[in-house]
A and B are shown apart, each in its own frame.
Chain A
């Protein structure tokens, strides 16, 4: 094929490779109502299962009577722990090394806990059956406060004590108390305490990062179908990690892994909610085996908010020390982590508090010490990472608040305090006091660009004038300038230190080039809205020289996709994206040999150029990748196998460390506590940019979830352990009306160890956004003596802050 009429630039453009804002290939089906989500799956004879749930937060289950329920028309079975116990399935392992009741085994530990599973012909019959199940409870003392739990005689979990009532070791070492789960430490305790004790200036603060929930618009669910003739189990579900789910199902059910096929269809958002394994999955599988029919289980919104995968609930106590000039010398952080009734957080095995030890942030802090105590309470289990890599949102919130508090202590400008403490460009790769090796960064450039763009000095002048006007009675509105500079740690991770249930956290890509020059690539990840089918094809297009439009990307079917650990913690681009590039390079290496053969030159005499191999020094002699693909299937080439396929399993040498600089300008009505976000500027550096349109969309979305968390969203409990925010009536999800327009910007500092230099971006805006919104609120009151107040900053809490500061006269 001769195509000299096409310029090199046009050939690059035709590929729609990396760096272009390619429109998404997913959108045709979604905009026409033809997505295929788990609740859209309908199989012949499919049954519907749903749970009887506990109304109590802590109670003994005295008896369960299913007799009347079985008489309800359409009800086929009611499963209880007694039915699952002989199979050993009444408890299941959690991803955190703990175990969790599948169905109440003698007691319940949180409101909404699964007590019995009713299987019926449809969801209405199941609901009728649930009403008819009689459960007798005996209420027990409820512990919703982790500090009280750590001092209570009440033993929440019998498996935490021996026969003499003494605490036994947990999955991560000794317990300090029977309701204590683990202690995890990083850094050097004594040197840190010495530095802080001897410091010129020390700022201390305790902050509560409240409990919230990822709340994707689609709840969790599954369809289990056991084919008894062939012995094959197929499980469709909202799984962010389908391969890991297959392995877990095999381990707990005893069904051989080759007889299990897990399929994640289209997923309606995940944000961490869909990483773990839930009782609904186990019960659906058992029910399908028992009835011989497919069984569907879909959470309703209350089930979702009350029971599956909450996020945060961290009490963080910090001390930060500095010289009088503001140079930070030491940092100490203690966390009391409320995990609820079971430790069901989703972190790499060796990290029971995730990557909380990234809490030194973007600053060159020579000495630091972190300790985390996990505690059981009568709340729902979890502790997942809601739109962030493992606990990174907590870590960044902590340090970005501590910086602000230190700035107050030093009477310094918080932007300047950050600047003088940033890790310098020439210090990378930088080993932080708590152990991580930051791959690359240029924080000063990003910060200066951000401050210049928003006219930071002008904003501060305007703010000072506003304070004067307020004091003079000319206005009842205050102005906050929220700052945050974050460094994320994403792309878990190197197999040497990152695994989940023993499964190394590599990821994978397999590519098949078809004879006519199109391709299919399959990955171990799964999109939940990130647009993988669009962006991974762009990586490949640039690597192998075939147009992205000619490349199909497929994920989520464990029978066809190579093994991978799934999509969460911004790991898809850093890990599977790297595997994609590496597999593409294997294709290119073989294509080079084929091209050389076809052009009758030595392998070394051809070089890759956009979409073809050309003879060095003779660009008119070339073979396009399309020519080469066909040759791979129709020519007998000596020493080269037919076909053009490759697979790569990529074990990343390090995490990636995206960073960014955010500024929020907010007006606050002192008398109503309402907030008006006047401006939000977000500069992100995610390394090499694959699709700017998709990146920008991720930033808008992550910032909006940050706005929600900072300004109102929470899972709140009363003293009895009742969930007070179990529906969208009470649980704040912002609408178009509450959300501002965001200004996005970027710098590009590629990751030196990633094949294409990309770092991941999906979670950055959430991680950086939460402290930025929160700092804006707190900054508005700094002139009136506010040091710190806890999120969520809803109107009532802001009004209360103003009131306590005496601003209501």
Chain B
């Protein structure tokens, strides 16, 4: 073994020990970990929300491409919306500011619900309550007035 090799090996060993040992010597990272765990919980909820949103999108798409009947579509969509609302509530409890977009979306949702309730029109195909100015049914997609 020549001297250069020995030097490289020694440097490698010292570097390795310093690199691995540094966190143990410094410690004091407990708070960071606790914060991470909290973030994990919220991230999990957001993921669940996104999964459901994707599922709803897929359901709508399956309906549009003729794989799901209007009847099934309404029933399944209602069920998924209920699940989504439940997750949004949990997210709200976990951290009201976790996802500002989410808050905005919820408000829009609530507003539309109110609007829907106020209107007396119903869809001729599936019977869903409709907003007064609806162009087509939000549930089954039935065209109500000619699109502009």
Partners in one complex: no
Q: Which residues of A contact B (CB under 8 A)?
A: none
Q: Which residues of B contact A (CB under 8 A)?
A: none
